[in-house]
Homo-oligomer: A and B are copies of this chain.
């Protein structure tokens, strides 16, 4: 078979199985992300052995995750973050610190290297906005206070997770660095994040209104070119600076989050997302190896999952105590799902040789487990009191349209 035929066959198998599994999972109200990972595990060397990593597939998946993080960034609107305010911030900060610390110390207790422990801790920090938003929307609870707090905190979460990743990925590049170098690399990472926002913002905010002076078609295609161009450029810069490429992509997305064109861009990036992102998740699944796994590692995996759940439940619950005990529990459960960002961190660690193969598989397991169960639990918790904020949640006034649409993106494309 020619190289082209081989490539087309791989992409075809990956894409079609991912979409088919995603559709079946959607029937059972399960996130597509989980379907795609499981498809990857099934197609990969562990089970069927149909799909193997190749230079093309690996780099294509890399491009996929860059676009994924761009769109995650696009949803991190700073103005909205300020609106949901302190409550979400408290939930987010505690919900990031607790699992990070727990994850780090768990790994350290198993005698794992510092770098690996730091990466696992980082992989436990970020909540998956999409999975939670979708469950809340299905229950008609998107407009409630609890939903606002969860969604706001999940976005904060992503930002914090990325900042931690920026520092960690900078620091862990050089093996055995001195403390001076750690400081330098940390400053470099923070400077990259700060400068990209500081220098990028005026460019984006001056260029986007200029584009809207053109007719609709031209405006759309120029906006798209600007967004994709910045996304690729920032990703390259981050990657060139030995940070992770996705960090650049995230900040490029965040630059557009507060523009008037954010919604248009989100819609326009949808199809691209729909093609490249499933390929990334499937390829991540193919990297899972269950063969020859020791009992110790399996125990570690279960403990990582446990720590992931407890960390968010306790951290976020504490941050949301003002909502009452039941409210705090709901927020805590709503924040449990890890998805995209956690997986991205793990696969980055694997690619850099910082995370071992078996630990990687365990982190993927954690992402699958934490993504599957919370929606069902949320359904149980929220169904028992449908009258509390009932009518507002059901009618969906004009004001709530934005959130509905946002969750719609989460449903149709992101998960």
Binding site for B on A (CB under 8 A): 1-5, 7-9, 11-12, 15-16, 19, 23, 26, 55-56, 59-60, 62-63, 66, 217-218, 220-222, 224-225, 228-229, 232-233, 235-236, 239-240, 245, 268-272, 274-275, 408, 411-413
| B contact residues around A3 at 8 Å (CB) | 55, 59
Among B5, B19, B232, the residue within 8 A (CB) of A8 is B232
Residue of chain B at shortest CB distance from A18: B225
The answer to whether A412 and B239 touch across the interface, beta carbons within 8 angstroms, is no
The answer to whether B55 and A15 touch across the interface, beta carbons within 8 angstroms, is no
| A189: min CB distance to chain B, Å | 16
Residue of chain B at shortest CB distance from A249: B8
Distance A16 CA – B408 CA, assembled complex (angstroms)? 31
Distance A239 CA – B6 CA, assembled complex (angstroms)? 9
Distance A255 CA – B19 CA, assembled complex (angstroms)? 20
Among B62, B218, B225, B412, the residue within 8 A (CB) of A7 is B62
The answer to whether B63 and A11 touch across the interface, beta carbons within 8 angstroms, is yes
User: Nearest 9 CB-CB pairs, A to B?
Assistant: A217-B412, A19-B225, A12-B232, A5-B239, A8-B236, A16-B229, A56-B59, A221-B412, A9-B236
| A61: min CB distance to chain B, Å | 10
Among B62, B222, B270, the residue within 8 A (CB) of A23 is B222
The answer to whether B239 and A275 touch across the interface, beta carbons within 8 angstroms, is no
| B contact residues around A233 at 8 Å (CB) | 12, 16
| A268: min CB distance to chain B, Å | 5
Residue of chain B at shortest CB distance from A217: B412
| B contact residues around A239 at 8 Å (CB) | 2, 4-5, 8
| With contact pairs A269-B271, A271-B271 given, residues A229 and B15 touching in the complex (Cβ less than 8 Å) | yes
| B contact residues around A245 at 8 Å (CB) | 4-5, 8
Distance A100 CA – B28 CA, assembled complex (angstroms)? 56
Distance A90 CA – B284 CA, assembled complex (angstroms)? 53
Distance A8 CA – B236 CA, assembled complex (angstroms)? 5
The answer to whether B4 and A59 touch across the interface, beta carbons within 8 angstroms, is yes
Q: List 20 A-B contacts (CB under 8 A).
A: A4-B62, A4-B245, A5-B236, A8-B63, A8-B235, A9-B236, A12-B229, A16-B225, A19-B229, A23-B222, A23-B225, A217-B411, A217-B412, A220-B270, A220-B412, A221-B270, A228-B274, A268-B271, A271-B272, A272-B272
Among B66, B218, B229, B408, the residue within 8 A (CB) of A412 is B218
Among B55, B217, B411, B413, the residue within 8 A (CB) of A56 is B55
| B contact residues around A270 at 8 Å (CB) | 220-221, 268, 271
Known contacts A55-B56, A272-B272; 12 additional CB pairs below 8 A are: A5-B240, A5-B245, A9-B240, A11-B63, A15-B229, A19-B229, A55-B55, A56-B59, A217-B412, A224-B271, A269-B271, A271-B271
| With contact pairs A7-B59, A16-B233, A245-B5 given, residues A228 and B275 touching in the complex (Cβ less than 8 Å) | yes
Distance A290 CA – B268 CA, assembled complex (angstroms)? 39
| B contact residues around A60 at 8 Å (CB) | 56, 60
Residue of chain B at shortest CB distance from A26: B218
